[in-house]
Amino acid sequence: MDHNLQSIPAPHFDLEKTLNSGQVFHWTRLGRGFVGALAENLVYLEQAGETIRVTAWHAKAAAHYLALDHPLPEILKTFPVDPVIQTAIQFSEGLRIIRQPQWECLATFLTSPLKQVQHIRAISLAIRKRFGRRLQRDGMEVFSYPRPEQVSGIPLAELLECKLGFRAANLLATAKIVASGEMDLEALRNLSTEDARAALCELPGVGEKIANCVLLFAYDRLDAVPVDVWIARVLNEVYFAGRLKVPLRELKSFAAHYFGSYAGYAQQYLFHHWRLTYRRR
């Protein structure tokens, strides 16, 4: 597995946490690293201290994908000094919010409602294996995510075999809109976060939460804050302790303001920490 790997510096970075924190769902452990598809290329990644070793030719793309240029120490300094977020930061040390390709990020989160992280992963891998392009290299094999043009042509019954349930119709309908050009995902880059969010919410199956996931994980909008059941749980149990039935809009407003201009990062650390340590009472 160590043929033709290129080293790139990666300070303040934890590969495992980054790939297994519920922002991206298809990377698979292989040897001491991970294998997956970066757009249409098979890429192998492994970490050695403050260095990432990447399959040659993909170093530059990988560094961008992994957001190794995000000024993590500076970002952390902008967070409020309270024990809850500071504990989550420690627990999540080295977790970076990566830059995913727009379509596969959108498509993957379209399959996420009312699903656990491992289910989203299973669905992503099933769709890739069945409809994506097979990529091989040095005995490794992965599958890319099918483009919107291809997804739009999949019969609903076939898509349902990937165990999407009621989410399949939304994925199909959105794929048709994107494939037709009616929605230009690349053009959203030129919009304000607010306008891009509104545009994403026009797509079938995309509400405010999924739109914020896409903005945060694929558009580098680090102030976008997805409020899912876990974030709502943290806010209710900690920041609104003692209050009953806090309206969701109040939770969202609080999260978007309290954590500062990198609230998306703060949100990801809270999500990661609580999801892996929470015990029901």
Residues lying near DNA in the complex (CB under 7 A): 21-23, 112-120, 160, 163-166, 170, 201, 203-211, 213, 226-231, 233, 247, 249, 267-268, 271, 275
Question: What's the closest the beta carbon of residue 216 comes to DNA, in angstroms?
Answer: 8
Amino acid, single-letter form, for residue 109: F
Between 22 and 54, whose beta carbon lies closer to DNA?
22
Q: Are the C-beta atoms of 13 and 94 separated by less than 8 Å?
A: yes
Question: What's the closest the beta carbon of residue 215 comes to DNA, in angstroms?
Answer: 12
Between 4 and 28, whose beta carbon lies closer to DNA?
28
| Residue 257, burial from CB neighbour count under 10 angstroms (0-12, 13-18, 19+) | exposed
Question: What's the closest the beta carbon of residue 139 comes to DNA, in angstroms?
Answer: 28
Between 52 and 215, whose beta carbon lies closer to DNA?
215
Between 58 and 197, whose beta carbon lies closer to DNA?
197
Q: Both tokens of residue 258?
A: 């309290």
Question: What's the closest the beta carbon of residue 262 comes to DNA, in angstroms?
Answer: 14
| Residue 148, burial from CB neighbour count under 10 angstroms (0-12, 13-18, 19+) | buried
58-63 LR contacts (CB < 8 Å, sep 24+): 58/6, 59/6, 59/8, 62/8, 62/38, 63/8, 63/10
Question: What's the closest the beta carbon of residue 197 comes to DNA, in angstroms?
Answer: 11
Rounded CA-CA distance 158/147 in Å is: 16
- Spacing of C-alpha 53 from chain mean position: 22
- Spacing of C-alpha 152 from chain mean position: 22
Question: What's the closest the beta carbon of residue 48 comes to DNA, in angstroms?
Answer: 26
Q: Please, which residues have CB within 8 angstroms of residue 124's CB and are 6 or more apart in sequence?
A: 25, 26, 108, 111, 145
Q: Are the C-beta atoms of 172 and 151 separated by less than 8 Å?
A: yes
